[in-house]
Amino acid sequence: MSYDSEPPTSPPPPTPPRRSGPRTLVVAVAVLVPTALAGWLVWQVMSGPGDSAPTAMPLPDKSRSATATAVKPAPTPTPTPTPSGSKDDKPRRAGPLTGKVVVIDPGHNPGNFRHTEEINKTVDVGTHRKECDTTGTSTNDGYTEAAFTLDVSRRLRTLLEEQGATVTLVQNDDRPYGPCVDERARIGNEAKADAVVSVHADGSAVGNRGFHVILPAVVKAGAADTAKIVAPSRELGTRIAGKFVQATGMAPSNYVGDGTALDVRKDLGGLNLTTVPKVFIECGNMRDPKDAALLSSGGWRQKAAQGISDGIGSYLKG
């Protein structure tokens, strides 16, 4: 993941003194002010709570600010918006996914490009060592993958919470970079998530179009042991792929997965180190102009979130 005051005017030329002037002015003000205040009090008694305040009468400078304070209605407090990634005390909505825990992993981080030294450090992913994280790709117009994944993930979170699920975002543009791929996996594991989805967009060649879902391979090396989650992860990925087509109308990838929209990999730390069902989804190819036009559309991103949500819901409801 933005008083004007009146300019001073030149004093008027002196006016010859008049005996009756000051006495007449004092009397006039003495009569005018009580009359105005009395009228205001009558208005306050007669008007209801929905009435608007009357236009303030011009008064001598000394009483202007006090009078304005007295008649000005108290401002309605503006609620402070809850940060997108923070917890709040509102009761969770009951629904078909009540009791289910979903972790959404928005790929990359908008701040990664400012922290290349940190994200280039390697971490152990079981089979080998891999970069902590990467900057991700972007469209030719400069719309970044990190911005895309956050937007889709936030929309997805809303859809799932409306069905009663407890949802956690791995990152919400609330940290300077990362987290590293091993920590991303650990967040889902520690949450004992029923499903984890990592949201991405691809950066392939022009002409390569469509989406695909990446599934974990059977891996047992070092801290990686995916034997127990390979089958449920495939079921999760298959459900998401089917619902994604229905919601977005996007065809499966024409360059990965042989038309199945499914791809199995053993080189991704986020999948190697997971102990709960988890998949990645590459929602399209940001480097192809036709796919990029879709990914850059807010309306299409809502459809993408809906498709992923429908797939997760179908998997969790059995």
Is the pLDDT reported for residue 150 higher than 50? yes
- Would you say 109 and 180 are in contact if contact means Cβ atoms under 8 Å apart? no
* pLDDT tier for residue 48 given thresholds of 50, 70 and 90: very low
What is the reported pLDDT for 118? 98
State the average pLDDT for the chain: 81
Q: Which long-range contacts (CB under 8 A, 24 or more apart) does 173-176 make?
A: 173/1, 173/85, 173/109, 173/110, 173/111, 174/1, 174/83, 174/85, 175/109, 175/111, 176/109, 176/111, 176/114, 176/115
At residue 234, does pLDDT exceed 70? yes
Mean pLDDT to the nearest integer, 181-205: 98
Q: Using one digit for the tens of pLDDT, what is the confidence trace for 243-298?
A: 999 999 999 999 999 999 999 999 999 999 999 999 999 999 999 999 999 999 99
Second-level CATH architecture of 101-316: 3-Layer(aba) Sandwich (3.40)
Mean pLDDT confidence for 112-138: 97
Residue 17 CA to residue 254 CA, distance in Å, equals 97
Nearest-angstrom CA–CA distance, 170 and 272: 17
Per annotation, catalytic residue among 117, 145, 183, 282: 282
pLDDT of residue 120: 98
Residue 60 has pLDDT above 50, yes or no: no
Domains of the chain, residue spans: 101-316
pLDDT at 30 over 60: no
Is pLDDT above 70 for 46?
no
Q: What is the pLDDT confidence band of residue 91, given thresholds at 50, 70 and 90? A: low
- pLDDT grade for 143, boundaries at 50, 70 and 90: very high
pLDDT of residue 27: 35
282 annotated active-site: yes
Q: Of the given ranges (11-20, 79-88, 114-123, 261-270), which has the lowest mean pLDDT? A: 79-88
* C-alpha distances out from residue 279 to 88, 136, 207, 236, Å: 28, 18, 25, 7
Residues 243/311, Cβ–Cβ less than 8 Å: yes
Q: Tokens 């089917």 appear where?
A: 242
Q: Under a CB-based contact definition with an 8 Å cutoff, are residues 279 and 240 in contact?
A: yes
Q: Is the pTM of this model over 0.85?
A: no
Q: How confident is the model at residue 93 (pLDDT cuts 50, 70, 90)?
A: confident
Q: In the predicted model, is pLDDT for residue 125 greater than 90?
A: yes
